[in-house]
A and B are shown apart, each in its own frame.
Chain A
Amino acid sequence: MNLAAATNESLAEMSNVLVYSAMAVYTLAFLAHIAEWVLGSRSKVGRTAAALTAAGPAPAQVRVQVAQRGGGTAVLAKPPKVVTRSAAGARDVPDGPGAAGGDEKGDLYGRIAVSLTTLAFLVAAAGVVARALSVQRAPWGNMYEFSLTFSTVAVGAYLGFLVARKNVRWMGLPLVTTVLLDLGIATTWLYTESDQLVPALHSYWLWIHVSTAIFCGAVFYLGAVATLLYLFRDAYENTLARGGTPSGFARSVLERLPAAASLDKFAYRVNAAVFPLWTFTIIAGAIWAGDAWGRYWGWDAKEVWSFITWVAYAAYLHARATAGWKGRKAAYVALIAFACWLFNYYGVNIFVNSLHSYAGV
């Protein structure tokens, strides 16, 4: 059987066209996000400042939440309200109003940006599928395909959060920007003609191991973006709490982000949720390596860096449970952990000679 003959040139061609189209649409989404930020009002600026200076370091404030359940049919009286308050010592500031800042025009651009991002995501996903069909295998045989899938999954996860009505719209601009960057790098430097896999990659473990690896990376990425913004926002809130005056940039941009506590919580949830899957990815990789190379673990560069990434995320989870390490320090650990993931993906393939490098740069 001549597998090479199976490669369908026109499908590969189509995939390329789709990827370029997706980049064009992402660019439009990028511009719409810029418009959202620029036109978004700053009228809500000062909410954080007001909350922080009014309450000062006093005990946390009380928030009122209406119980979401309507109660049984028999209940005529209104159900009791649940009052929540943050733990003692935690700063309790309201989330920022978002990029549009409550401005209608800004919000309109924001919605346009999200729609465009959705469209670009669909086009890019079609590009990935076309690529997969053209090579008749999982589209993760080399770094080009990996990058393509990675950014598509990251955007998919972001849209998934939006659909689940999570407060993540603030992530739109940084995400679309980096996705454009990723696709740009993929198409200019990493491009590889569509082709079959070398025999060592021929295994159903490719589907399992690589798909989870990409998914973990994409979601870890969202966590890293949140962590980075948390650091900025936290510094901003600290300045305010100390009674200082933050820079104009902080006042106009950081003010619109969710509260540092919310960003931190989001990042933690995302990282914690993905960590077991990352553990699984490494174990699946080890099982595959056992079949392919005759040893489960051989301290190959890729294995080493997966391990380092894993230990770094474990350290992050530990840091959050360790007095004196919560907050900013834990956030630095999380960023280091993600940097390890990135290095494992780009660095190892490019700089280090690894058994895995046959996957093609």
Chain B
Amino acid sequence: MSKTETTERDMAAAGAQLSTAPKEELIQAGGPTLGVIGWIRWFWRQLTSMRVALILLFLLSLGAIPGSLIPQNSADELKVRSFKEAHETLAPIYDKLQLFDVYSSVWFSAIYILLFISLIGCIIPRTWQFVGQLRGRPPAAPKRLTRLPAYTTWRTGSAPEDVREAALALLRKRRFRAHPAGDAVAAEKGYLREVGNLVFHIALIVMLVAFAMGQLFKSEGGKLIVEGDGFSNTLTQYDDFRSGSLFSTDELAPFSFTLNQFTGTYETSGPQRGTPRTFEADVTYSRPDGGKKRSVIRVNEPLEIDGSKVYLLSHGYAPVVTVKDGKGKVVYHGAVPLLPIDNNVTSTGVIKVMDGYRDKTGKKQQLGFPAFFVPTYAGKGKGQMFSQFPGLAFPALNLSAYHGDLRVDGGLPQNVYQLDTSKMKPFKGAGGDIFKKTLLPGETMTLPEGAGSITFEKEIKEWASFQISQQPGNGLALAGAIAAIAGLVGSLFIQRRRVWVRAVRGDDGVTVVEMAGLGRSESAKLPEELADLAVTLHSVAPTAPEAEEADQAVEADQAVEADEVPAEGAQK
């Protein structure tokens, strides 16, 4: 065996196990020839290699892109529908590729599941390896310390044993794991780097598990509430409700709350006139133990009750109307929530009178009033019924009227904000057009032919819609996230490094001290640390009197191996 070969092997041993990163194996193009088990092992080795982890990371980010450019069902189903209408040829292809549900698609799931299997397959052996490293000892000093990235030497009058002993004490004091090995002391420090790295990767798994738990057990529902009304947390009270596949309804926390008041303020002047400034919902909530409490829910400040969170989502107006029949009997009185259709809260909806109304002849009928509401009216004759400002500056309500059968009893679920006119007839105005009128607060619209009237009351209520959600696993996800950051910091900022101190008696009887350092990656800190250690050790074992020449001799020795470049210390 040649000398260089021995040296190389020696160096490799010195650097061995300085991290737990998996060794890169050459990819065998043809795969293994060992049958099924051989194939499985081959596949497993590929999957848990750094290269494949890297590729999977790439694929994960690539795979996430389409979801940000193509509308997603999970975010906005309406947008998906209009996209599908606009792209008739493309849409079916996208549908097949699950591009409208990227993040729950088979292929996206496949990427991250593979990545996490790879991750687990990577962590387990690395953890064992690391435990082994903790049990074992730093490797003995390589023969030629001069070949290490940082090196220093001097000659001293102290005995080699004393120097080694001092070095051992010094290194241990600096919290190196150090032990004497032959004519040298071997030491290592910075194991926390590996701990940090493992913690980080494990934390990724914890976070994934937490997300999965959240998805499976979550529940989430929406509820629109008009000022003065309440909500209690049972399934039937929700306007819409979604839940994870393992959720059961008795997990709904028993609480209720009432919306006392909603307050919205808007920029009143300047270029951003109309931009919302504050949204606040003043609520009183009650807990199962009977206690009542008042609280304010804002856009960024959900209310937390018994592990459920109540978020303020949106708001709108609910004009109060009174409908009377031909005889003056009140058949409907109440606030009707209308849905905003633009930023200035122009709102639409339908006022439906289901029971109690009889026409002139005394026959039971239902009434429907398609409504347009604007909180700030432009004024009569000034264009359309579009609001000029989102606040209640000059409210107006535009109504038309229908009578007949609302078809609400047919069993089919019906949109409360739309009128099914298939069995309704409009009231006709004087000119034969649909009867229509714009009302200001307090005004009444009298239906033709003594069919009754509808009054737009002065009181205009607001409504707020809330999302009530319950998602277990959030605490776990947060803990995972914090652990991930802590692990990362340890992994990226802690250097794992080895130091060897060799002290032997030279031919002339003077002790030669050699110190060398090796890090996992090159770092400016390593030579500094070594210098620091050397200076301290040097104070115990100072340079022997004839050091000057000896020092030079060593330097000259090195110069044989490689050329020397003038001091570079000035430049980092």
Contacts and interface: CB of A to CB of B under 8 A. Distances in A.
Given A4-B269, A195-B267, A304 B531 contact: no
A66 B569 contact: yes
Contacts of B539: 71-72, 74-75
Nearest to A70: B535
B276 A59 contact: no
A77 B469 CA distance: 73
A166 B572 contact: yes
A249 interface: no
A182 interface: no
A321 B152 CA distance: 28
A233 to B, nearest CB: 15
Interface stretch (B54-62, B364-372, B445-453): B54-62
A343 B493 CA distance: 28
A203 B564 CA distance: 59
- A287, A298, A321, most chain B CB atoms within 10 A: A321
Nearest to B19: A321
Contacts of A287: 478
Given A67-B534, A352-B68, A292 B270 contact: no
A273 B481 CA distance: 18
B240 interface: no
Interface in B238-291: 265, 267-272, 275-279
B271 A200 contact: no
A10 interface: no
B538 A348 contact: no
B485 A195 contact: no
A311 B528 CA distance: 34
B535 to A, nearest CB: 5
Contacts of A298: 74-75
Contacts of B50: 318, 321-323
A51 B146 CA distance: 21
Interface stretch (B330-338, B412-420, B435-443, B555-563): B555-563
B534 A80 contact: yes
A296 B268 contact: no
A350 to B, nearest CB: 13
B64 A76 contact: no
B467 A294 contact: yes
Given A66-B567, A75-B542, A307 B474 contact: no
A294 B299 contact: no
Contacts of B538: 71, 75, 77, 79-80
Contacts of B527: 65, 82, 84
B534 A82 contact: yes
B530 interface: yes
B569 to A, nearest CB: 5
B276 A198 contact: yes
Contacts of B568: 63-65, 94
Contact of B481 (A58, A75, A265, A283): A283
A85 interface: yes
Contact of A167 (B146, B313, B477, B572): B572
A187 interface: no
B505 interface: no
A300 B71 CA distance: 10
B535 A199 contact: no
A188 interface: no
B60 A280 contact: no
Interface residues of A, number: 95
Given A193-B272, A296-B474, A64 B567 contact: yes
Contacts of A280: 485
Interface in B132-162: 146-154
B300 A88 contact: no
B57 A82 contact: no
A276 B489 contact: yes
B72 A299 contact: yes
B467 A58 contact: no
A85 B531 CA distance: 14
Interface in B41-64: 50-51, 53-54, 57-58, 60-61, 64
B426 interface: no
Contacts of B29: none
Contacts of A165: 572
A80 B543 CA distance: 8
B89 interface: no
A322 B53 CA distance: 10
A353 B401 CA distance: 38
A291 B567 contact: no
A321 B309 CA distance: 43
B355 interface: no
Given A88-B11, A291-B302, A322-B50, A299 B492 contact: no
A196 B268 CA distance: 12
Interface string A283-327: 100111011111111111100110110011011011101111100
A68 interface: yes
A2 interface: yes
A87 B149 contact: yes
B531 A69 contact: yes
A22 B298 CA distance: 39
Contacts of B272: 4, 193, 195-196
- A63, A195, A294, A308, most chain B CB atoms within 10 A: A294
B420 to A, nearest CB: 32
Contacts of B469: 294-295
A299 B103 CA distance: 8
B522 A87 contact: yes
A103 interface: no
A76 B543 CA distance: 9
Contacts of B302: 291, 294
Contacts of B28: none
A84 B313 CA distance: 62
A82 B551 CA distance: 12
Interface string A201-214: 01101000000000
A8 interface: no
A312 B61 contact: yes
B90 interface: no
A13 interface: no
A69 B565 contact: no
Contacts of B409: none
Given A294-B313, A311-B61, A322-B51, A193 B271 contact: yes
A88 to B, nearest CB: 7
A177 interface: no
- A85, A280, A291, A324, most chain B CB atoms within 10 A: A85
A94 B565 contact: yes
A279 interface: yes
B488 interface: yes
Interface in A59-112: 59-69, 71-72, 74-88, 90, 94-95
Contacts of A90: 522
A296 B471 CA distance: 10
B437 to A, nearest CB: 35
B299 A199 contact: yes
B532 interface: yes
B535 A69 contact: yes
B565 A63 contact: yes
B191 interface: no
A296 B477 contact: yes
10 contacts: A59-B562, A62-B559, A64-B569, A72-B535, A75-B542, A82-B527, A85-B151, A86-B149, A167-B572, A199-B300
Given A61-B565, A90-B522, A312-B61, 4 more contacts: A54-B563, A55-B562, A76-B542, A279-B484
- Which 8 A-B residue pairings sit nearest by Cβ, starting from the closest? A67-B531, A77-B543, A294-B311, A304-B68, A323-B24, A203-B300, A311-B61, A301-B68
Interface of B: 11, 21, 24, 50-51, 53-54, 57-58, 60-61, 64-65, 67-69, 72, 74-75, 79, 102-103, 146-154, 211, 220, 265, 267-272, 275-279, 298-302, 309, 311, 313, 467, 469, 474, 477-478, 481, 484-485, 488-489, 492-493, 515, 522, 527-528, 530-532, 534-536, 538-539, 542-543, 547, 551, 558-559, 561-569, 571-572
